[in-house]
Amino acid sequence: MSQAIAKKRLDYQAPNYLINEVDLVIELDPTDTIITSTLKCETSPHAISSNAGVASEQDLILDGEDLKLISVFLNGSAFTNYRIEEGKLVIPQAELAQLTDFTLQIKNSVDPINNGSLEGLYLSNEAYCTQCEAEGFRKITYFLDRPDVLSVYTVTIIAEKAAFPHVLSNGNLVEERDLADGKKLVKWHDPFKKPCYLFALVAGNFDKLSDSFTTMSGRQIQLELFVDKGKASQGHHALASLKKAMKWDEDVFGLEYDLDIYMVVAVDFFNMGAMENKGLNVFNSKFVLADSNTATDDDFFNIESIIGHEYFHNWTGNRVTCRDWFQLSLKEGLTVFRDQQFSADMFSYLATRISQVKVMREHQFAEDAGPMSHPIRPDEVIEMNNFYTVTVYDKGAEVIRMLHTLLTADGFRRGMDLYFERHDGQAVTCDDFVNAMQDANEVNLDHFKLWYSQSGTPRVKVESGLESGSKELNFTQRTNPTADQADKRALYLPIKVECLERSGRKIDLNLNNDTFVLDKANASVTVPSEDFVPVLLSDFSAPVILDYPYSLEDYLLIMTFSSSDYSKWDASQALYSSLISELYHNESVELSTSVWGKLEAALRQACNNYELLNEMLTIPSVESLTQGFEFSEPLKLSAARSAFLVQMQENLQDFLLEIMANTAQKSYEYTKVQVNERRVLSAVLQLLSYSKTPEMAAQLEKRFNSADNMTDKLTMLKASQICSVELFEKLMLSFESEYLENAVVMDKWFALHATTKSNDILSKLTLLASHRQFNLRNPNKVRSLVGSFAFYNTDGFHAIDGSGYQFLTDYLLELDPINPQIAARLVTPLIQYKKFAKSHQEMMVMQLKRLLNRANLSKDLYEKVSKSLT
Ligand code: ARG
Ligand code: ZN
């Protein structure tokens, strides 16, 4: 692996050259697109003052990857004194020595149709599109491909007129005219300086939806949404979401949109969710297209949240961007936090918060416990694409949330205002952000900053001790060493605490905002009571694992009396986990009937709050249960979880049937009330399906056939997957024939098949991979089929003979040369082998070694696989 060299955060150096203006002329062609790039460059003041290094350090080194160079001109004259080194174009310093300003013109070509990496310029179905973050611009032309080089772009695109009615780039349209040979020329200009990762180009034949938004200062912004032909009616929710996001950012942060036009394009081939290119967002079509027939309630929710996310980047990411990629959380952690607040305001706090906490506990804690552990601001990176992680994004958002908690909403807003006042138009660091928060609030955040540099999940152990008559809660924090860092320090942790007497009465603890700040290894709180139950870490006030010796009675008390719905849910999950763990250690145990009666009583209290009831009726996933064990036996754990569900169903049947009877089918609307009703019904039907009775199967079939929306259809499919194989197969066939032509919907179908418990799951998967809607080059398909299998089919993936591991590995070997980014995402369940029992570990390691031995393994896979094997 000659190219697999780690870059280090502390090696950062400012650029030696600046590129102030970029003029691109792009002549589109599927195999031979020609790019002429004219760069107005300047020797950076930094380069002149720091003359310490050797001369070659001052060479102008332009990144490039998979490019064919055609010609170079310097200040108008043909120039041949360049070198190509490892794909990069090097202009020797000697050639630039006398110049402070110069113009470089570079002509090169690229091959979009054969670009399976979906990075740089590629074709999605018939449309051209680009993806440049993090380092994809270098796959379009030679450039200083780093986020601290900011330029004004003018982009001219030449395309066939008939095939490409819509030809788009960032900023404002300045010219459009016909050329000879059925071609046309379209020119865009973006007045805002930006890093090249925010460049975008799209050309295709779309349906267009238009709307407008009037900003708080009265400017009219044109909004345009581009979707595949015939799908315009599925774009309304996305467009409405965009307007809500624009309004919300004005109301909450005083941030107004800056250009006169905002465009969003949906494409089917996309490596991630969406991309915030200036004025021209590109979206994975599954996060745009929605109507009640094709999208679930969750899809509607996710679309609003991701549309919001990309819109919010216009300020947190675009107007103020990252100095270098180690600072990624500067824009991502902050923007995720902003989209989370937006979702909570638009939909509801509880369900939104719970889904975020599940991501942290199921995925981020696992990442931190595995070979890819890194701080939210990483120190070392081989392939940047590997660091678009749950740590940088979601833990990053948790860190911002703690600031918000500590400074309050007003203080946080003051910090944001100062951040923009200081840094608008700049490329800055995470420290710059925290300093703005600190200075605006006159607090010292030095200790808090440790959250940016320390990886790992802190464990907070809480014990109650009797101290001279009064009781105390003693807190101890400890972060175990992680793969990347041996030594850990005590962090600054805000912990929400409530104490309940056995009667359920709340005890006053005299804490500011009910929050106890643990800022050293140990500290304690005095509780004026002899016998109480502490409710700890409400709202997940810090991203930590909490450890307190609760009894089942304690959990039930919290579920009944806590003042926080979040904590009621949290206690229910802990209760289920401990019962499942009992079954895990002793398969044949019949849980005591008294538990069920008390559980039912606690659940009944939530019957007037369907949002909460649904959450309390949802049992922790195998993935989240796995985190609670040292060397888990995945098959045993999955069996224990199923056994628990069977017993729960038997013991709560009357209660569940009662809820089922109380929820009537209504004609579909995406409203909070209806969503919560459908969710409760879904939870109840899935639980009841563990009875596996013909009556239940008949009930599901009837409901499937009369469903008027995708949410209910999917509920019935999931329930039938539990209830009856025959019914499941039957309904899946009918679903397939109804939605065969809809790529986004068929992803759900592939995912359901891939998560089925079945002895011949691998031959099923192989058959599905030859389905006409399947395509190895399409990330959505790969994620639905192979990703769902590896991440969520415990019984199949962890099959006792290792065949699941082998299946994934075979697949990755095939995918890696085409799309390394996706291959590296899918390897995650394999590299986290250390949390499983020895026999599984050995088989997983064997497959990882197969990967590592492959010649020409991508940097992406190499980084993850090699780390996992050390
Ligand atoms: N900035 C984009 C977003 O969060 C995601 C870009 C992901 N890039 C990547 N190489 N995985 O909205
Ligand atoms: Zn983002």
Q: Which tens digit of pLDDT belongs to each residue from 47-86?
A: 655 544 444 458 999 999 999 999 999 999 999 999 999 9
Helices (H), 424-551: 430-441, 450-453
Strands 151-160 and 183-194: antiparallel
What confidence category does residue 1 fall into, taking pLDDT thresholds of 50, 70 and 90? very low
Average pLDDT over residues 197-207: 99
- Residue 276 CA to its chain's centroid (Å): 14
The residue contributing the CA closest to ligand 1 atom 5 is 275
What pLDDT score was predicted for residue 3? Answer: 57
For residue range 581-594, what is the model confidence (pLDDT) as tens digits? 999 999 888 888 89
For residue range 735-771, what is the model confidence (pLDDT) as tens digits? 999 999 999 999 999 999 999 999 999 999 999 999 9
The residue contributing the CA closest to ligand 1 atom 12 is 275
Name, in order, each residue with C-beta under 8 angstroms of 58's C-beta and a sequence gap of 6 or more.
Answer: 16, 47, 93
What pLDDT score was predicted for residue 589? Answer: 82
Give SS3 for 549.
coil
CA distance 129 to 195: 18
What is the phi-psi region of residue 16: left when phi exceeds 0, alpha when psi lies from -120 to 50, beta otherwise?
alpha
Average pLDDT over residues 777-781: 98
Q: Which of 119, 272, 305, 828 should be mutated for ligand 1, with most atoms under 8 A from CB? A: 272
What pLDDT score was predicted for residue 54? Answer: 46
What pLDDT score was predicted for residue 57? Answer: 59
Average pLDDT over residues 351-356: 98
Q: Spell out the SS3 assignment of 325-377.
A: HHHHHHHHHHHHHHHHHHHHHHCCHHHHHHHHHHHHHHHHHHHHHCCCCCCCC
Which stretch of 64-73, 430-439, 658-667, 779-788 has the lowest confidence by average pLDDT? 658-667
pTM: 0.98
Q: How many CA atoms lie within 13 A of 256 on its CB side?
A: 12
What pLDDT score was predicted for residue 45? Answer: 79
310 close to ligand 1 (CB < 6 Angstrom)? yes
For residue range 674-702, what is the model confidence (pLDDT) as tens digits? 999 999 999 999 999 999 999 999 999 99
Q: Which ligand is nearest to the CA of 316?
A: 2
CB 753 within 8 Å of CB 736? no
What pLDDT score was predicted for residue 53? Answer: 45
The rounded Å distance from CA 357 to ligand 1 centre is: 21
The rounded Å distance from CA 220 to ligand 1 centre is: 29
R_g (Cα) of the chain, nearest Å: 28
What pLDDT score was predicted for residue 590? Answer: 83
Residue 485 has pLDDT above 60, yes or no: yes
CA distance 406 to 443: 10
- Residue 169 CA to its chain's centroid (Å): 25
274 close to ligand 1 (CB < 6 Angstrom)? yes
What pLDDT score was predicted for residue 55? Answer: 43
What pLDDT score was predicted for residue 587? Answer: 81
For residue range 237-276, what is the model confidence (pLDDT) as tens digits? 999 999 999 999 999 999 999 999 999 999 999 999 999 9
Average pLDDT over residues 553-557: 97
The residue type at 243: K
The rounded Å distance from CA 536 to ligand 1 centre is: 34
Average pLDDT over residues 166-183: 98
Q: Which of 306, 388, 863 should be mutated for ligand 1, with most atoms under 8 A from CB? A: 388
Average pLDDT, the chain: 96
